Amino acid sequence: MSDTTKRVLLAKPRGYCAGVDRAVVTVEKALDTYGPPVYVRKEIVHNRHVVETLRERGAIFVDSTDEVPEGALVVFSAHGVSPEVHTKAADRGLRTIDATCPLVTKVHMEAKRFARDDYDILLIGHEGHEEVEGTAGEAPEHIQLVDTAEDAAKVQVRDPSKVIWLSQTTLSVDETMERVDQLRARFPMLSDPPSDDICYATQNRQVAVKAMAAECDLVIVVGSQNSSNSKRLVEVALQAGARASYLVDFAHEIAEEWLDGVTTVGVTSGASVPDNLVMDVLAFLAERGWESVEEITTANEKIAFALPRELRKDLNPTK
């Protein structure tokens, strides 16, 4: 095989979404404005490199608000928190900045609204994921988690005419619709959410991977093991025809044997991944003969979210 046939297909969009960018900038600006330490409940976003970089600047990541000294400043992560977490923080006199992604907040609002109307809410998502715990916490007596096909087969509702499904924002679109179809077969009157819960960025990154996967011998997804949307990109690549696909945090984690007999390498990254990590992967591949890079563009993202209002008032005290 001559080196001239080696090529990289680079997915666009990839990497940071507007919600992640907003959350990371929130912690950076909080450190700049108030000085360290700034406490962060859970990982601000699911990316090892981002968390380590912020830790070096003075962010302290904790699992629970109980670990934050009374009166200190705590930032809530992009994945959202339940009302119980807000209450506990208030009880301990913590200053809070809520960096929940606005698209996650939208799902929280839907959960509250349908709980008020006494619906049974079937939340499609992965058990134990922070976002799911936050959403379920909005109306625990109305929400049941549907993770697996088995869950869809055995979940029970009070009134089959008052059932709605909601979903974690970072799932694969195909996987979610598979669960919805299973639920609808049991509950034909199942209502759809008023708007699409799967976030635009998750969807766009999956579409970009699908567009190139069939041409790829190997797809490398840059992202962390605890990043739901990054793991879905590996699955989507394989389902869409890639011969192999792997998730790596850093370029040095790429195993040389993955490249044996490979002509076309696809590269993408999850929504919480800074692009310098992708550039490191491209440099790694270029050193091994994959110098030709073609960007495969399926969407241009223009969306941006304002910073949390608790932070904005201190950044612009005159406003």
Residue 123's H or E segment, with its range, is: strand 120-124
- Please give the structure tokens belonging to residue 72: 């200190």
Which one of the listed residues 110, 130, 131, 133 is annotated catalytic? 131
Q: Which phi and psi angles does 113 have, rounded to 5°? A: -65, -45
φ/ψ bin of 47: left (φ > 0), alpha (ψ from -120 to 50), beta (otherwise): beta
CA angle at residue 316 from 16 to 103, to 5 degrees?
35
End-to-end CA distance of the chain: 63
Count CB atoms within 10 A of the CB of residue 193. Answer: 17
Is 131 catalytic? The answer is yes
CA distance 268 to 205: 8
Residues assigned a catalytic role: 131
